[in-house]
Structures are given as C-alpha cells and as structure tokens.
Amino acid sequence: MASTLKSLKLLSDPTRLRILMLLGQEALSVAELQEVLGMGQSRISTQLSQLKTAGLVAVARSGKNNIYKGVASADLLEVARLAASELNEVAADQAALRHLLRKRKDTARAYFDELAGRFGKDYVPGRSWKALAEALIKVLNYRIVADLGAGEGTLAQLLAQRADKVIAVDISPKMVAFGQELARINGLNNLEFRIGDIEEPPIEANSLDLAVLSQALHHAANPQRAIDAAARILKPGGRLIVLDLLLHNFEEARKLYADRWLGFSECDLATMLERAGFASIETVVADRESSAPGFQTLLGIGVRPAP
C-alpha cells in the first residue's frame, strides 16, 4: 500500500499532479502525455517513474508502447483534485485530452494519414493536389461564403464558381483592389472584396454558411479572436475551415512572411475551436513539404451548433 505522506509529497509537484489527473481519467502512453502536456519525453518519463514507484500509477504493455493509468485511492484522488483546481494549466490539459480522445475515435485516421503520405510519390498522369482541390471546390454546396484573410483572392475566385455569394476580406487595400479588379475581369459578379481585419471582419452576424481561414490565422495578433469572430458571423449549422501551418521552429518566417505565430499544434487549433463554441471538431495534418524547412499544413474543421 502506498504511503499517504509520500504520495502527498509527490503530488506537491504541479507536473506530477497534472499527470495523475489525466491518468485518473484515461490510460495514456508517454507520447500521448507529451501531446497533451506539451512537455518532453524525458521529463514525463521521470515523473511517471516516481508515480509508479509510489504505487499511484500502473503500467501495461501494448505493442511497442507502455500504457499508464492512475491507480491511486479514491480518497487520495479527491485530495489531488482539490489541489489541481488551483493550477491554471489543468483546464488546458482537459481540453487537450478531449481533443486527443476525439482523434482516437477516428478509426480511419491512420489509414488516411498513410494514404496522404503516398499521394504524389508515385507519378500518375493528370493527378495533382491542385486538380483534386479544384474538383472538390466545384461540388461544394454553400450559398454564402467568406474567405477571411483572402489576399489577392485565389481561393475566393474558386469558391465563387459555386457559391451564390463570396465575401473576401483582407486588411490590405492594395490586395483588395487587385482582387476586385481580377474578379471583374473574370466576370465573377458574386465575389465582393472588403477591407477588414480577420479579428473583426466587416460581415453581418449569423449570415454565412461557410467561412475559410486559409493561411491567415498565423498572421493574426490574437488567433482566438479571429476564430471567435468566424463563429459569430456563421449561421447555426455553418462550418469553419482553417488551413494553416503546423507548429514549426523556422524563426525566419517572421521576417520573410510577416508571420506573427510559428504555426499551431493540432491541440492548439482544436482548443481554440472548442473555446469559440464549435462542435464536430476535426483536425489533421493534410500535407507535408519535402523541401526545407519542411512546412506542414494543418487542417481544422468545426461546425457552429444550432442553439
């Protein structure tokens, strides 16, 4: 039986307390704990070893992975919960755990990750990501669409071929003027450009069927405000699509591309969508560049629920 005094001493460390809170809810691997906590493998393994020695967690083998679960007594867990309520990080841990569990339920994810990894490696005449994207855009069935952070409006022009109305929002007057003129030349009368910030888009609340943030979120001063704004202008049942960079460490992007943020982790994006009130949240790494610095594209989708 674990010593109560030793257990309490161990749980005075915030990291061990956070780990025990997670393992008390769900059995997790070290890699999964890394994803939820945003910590390195060695740090987590050290803390797990101490918790295991004290009899507060147990470990079982599953294939190549060790799976840990909490086995502390109900009384000790109650004390631990009271202590954890004083840690600001615990709420973020819970959001990250919910995201992780959502990904687990996607049984097809591993298959599609493998499929995406093969796409383009073998030459097939006429097959490309660009052709596939244009084909899929043409079967979308959204009436009112906004391209937030549209730039010169390449995506907006594709969307305008199918939607009844597309509103392209960008903070640059020159980009807006260029895009509007291009839309006029191409006869896209249903495409309207507006000058505005993605954190406060000049679009009426509850008016959109679809909003898209394509490689725009990492330019926002406050990404959460941009996602909150997207939720506000969507109708109930409307959908938000976010395409952005996966978290990276290419610092030069700040100077080269005026990036404020070096991408986002899947957990970061899912948490922001959740905080904005979105449901049916999905995230996936949709593309990986082979050349340096090896940027990866993160896709996130959320639906604004009906009241």
* Burial status of residue 74 (CB atoms within 10 A of its CB: 0-12, 13-18, 19 or more): exposed
- CA–CA distances in Å: residue 223 to residues 209, 216, 218, 271: 21, 9, 7, 11
Residue 101: pLDDT band by 50, 70, 90 thresholds?
confident
Q: What is the CATH number of the domain that holds 158?
A: 3.40.50.150
Same domain, 143 and 292: yes
Torsion of CA 131, 137, 140, 144, to 10 degrees: -170
Across the range 79-102, mean pLDDT stands at 90
The pTM of this model reads: 0.73
CA distance linking residue 49 with residue 66, whole number of Å: 12
> Angle at the Cα of 280 (from 299 to 154), degrees rounded to 5?
35
For residue 210, what are the domain limits?
109-303
What's the DSSP call for residue 304?
P
Same domain, 294 and 247: yes
DSSP string, 242-257: EEEEBP---TTHHHHS
Same domain, 281 and 169: yes
pLDDT at residue 1 greater than cutoff 50: no
Strand partners, 61: 66
C-alpha gyration radius of the chain? 23
Same domain, 49 and 135: no
Same domain, 276 and 135: yes
- The confidence score (pLDDT) of residue 128 equals 62
Residue 104: pLDDT band by 50, 70, 90 thresholds?
confident
Tens of pLDDT, residue by residue over 211-243, are: 999 999 999 999 999 999 999 999 999 999 999
- The confidence score (pLDDT) of residue 288 equals 84
Same domain, 272 and 297: yes
Same domain, 113 and 98: no
Contact 167, 245 (CB under 8 A): no
Same domain, 60 and 190: no
Same domain, 134 and 170: yes
Across the range 38-60, mean pLDDT stands at 92
**Of 90, 105, 120, the domain-final residue:** 105
Split into its structural domains, the chain has a count of 2
Residue 115: pLDDT band by 50, 70, 90 thresholds?
low
Same domain, 128 and 55: no
Same domain, 101 and 122: no
Q: What is the CATH number of the domain that holds 48?
A: 1.10.10.10
**Of 105, 129, 158, the domain-final residue:** 105
**Of 75, 105, 135, the domain-final residue:** 105
Could you give the 3-state DSSP secondary structure of residue 303?
strand
Same domain, 120 and 97: no
- The confidence score (pLDDT) of residue 172 equals 93
